[in-house]
Amino acid sequence: MDRLAPLFLSHGSPMTALDGGPAAAFWGELGRVLGARAEPPRAFLAVSAHTLAHRVHTLGAARHAAVHDFGGFPRALYALAYDVPGAPALARRVEALLGAAGIEVEPGEDGGLDHGIWVPLRAVRPQADTPVLPLAFPPDWSPRRLFELGTALAPLAGEGVQIVGTGSITHNLRLGLPARDRPVPERPESAEFRAWFAARAAARDWQSLWDWHALAPHADFMHPTDEHLLPWFVAAGAGGLCHFGVRIHASVEGGHLGMDAYAFGPEARTLADELAAAG
């Protein structure tokens, strides 16, 4: 099978599932491009900022449903569903790959998709017919160690599995949730951080990216906690050390919540070109 470029999608607020916006429109276009291929993804491996564990852990249930892991939103949001097949056989394959790389992994038959997974996938694959395997990870792992986790998963990209890391390229909710009915200019701190990440990824400057806390502008302000950026490194590692990270979507909500998306690996540029042609 053709390789699938591993992806990082900024999932933003759960309200994106109701309100849409530029990122949601991009997810829909991404789904159309992937679905139009001769060999569309046979499964999604999802690594989310909201599915965390003390050790790497597969959620190998036979079925998954949307988990409404948030509070204080309109009732209509809790009515949204996304019920999809699970991927127990893929879980065994992931466990074997990680074991061969010396990474301890805990098998599980847990079910459920956190909003970081189902909100974008509901737009990418609204048919809800493609199996999903969530993979939990420890949030105290370093970016480099998470990159190595992704590297161990890289063979899946050639086996029809769409690897998706999901978080947010900037994430400081102390600034408040975005309100799309009151557009505001992007904060300079957000713009500088997003630009730095895109430039470093395009330069394959993995060493600087692994040390983003010390080197990226306004790092602590844009990420008071790390978890929403960590899946980026898993997706990047699955793309490989020798390949560029390509920003395939750039937008921001509420002046500070970055919704950028990235593709990695040898097929990243091809995917970017397909999206540009489709757009």
Question: What pTM was estimated for this model as a whole?
Answer: 0.97
Q: Distance between CA 152 and CA 206 in Å, rounded? A: 17
Count of positions (residues) in the chain: 279
3-16 pLDDT, tens digit each? 999 999 999 889 99
Nearest CA to 234 out of 9, 43, 33 is that of 9
- The residue extents of the domains of the chain are 7-278
123-179 pLDDT, tens digit each? 999 999 999 999 999 999 999 999 999 999 999 999 999 999 999 999 998 887 666
Q: How confident is the model at residue 175, as a pLDDT? A: 82
Checking if the pLDDT of 36 tops 80, the result is yes
Q: How confident is the model at residue 268, as a pLDDT? A: 97
Q: How confident is the model at residue 2, as a pLDDT? A: 81
Query: Phi/psi class of residue 87: alpha, beta or left (left: φ > 0; alpha: ψ in -120 to 50)?
Result: beta
CATH fold of 7-278: Protocatechuate 4,5-dioxygenase; Chain B (3.40.830)
Q: Distance between CA 198 and CA 239 in Å, rounded? A: 15
Which amino acid appears at position 120 of this protein? Answer: P
Q: Distance between CA 50 and CA 232 in Å, rounded? A: 13
- Name the band, by pLDDT with cuts 50, 70 and 90, for residue 184: confident
Residue 112 contacts by C-beta under 8 Å, 6 or more apart in sequence?
59, 61, 64, 65, 66, 67, 134
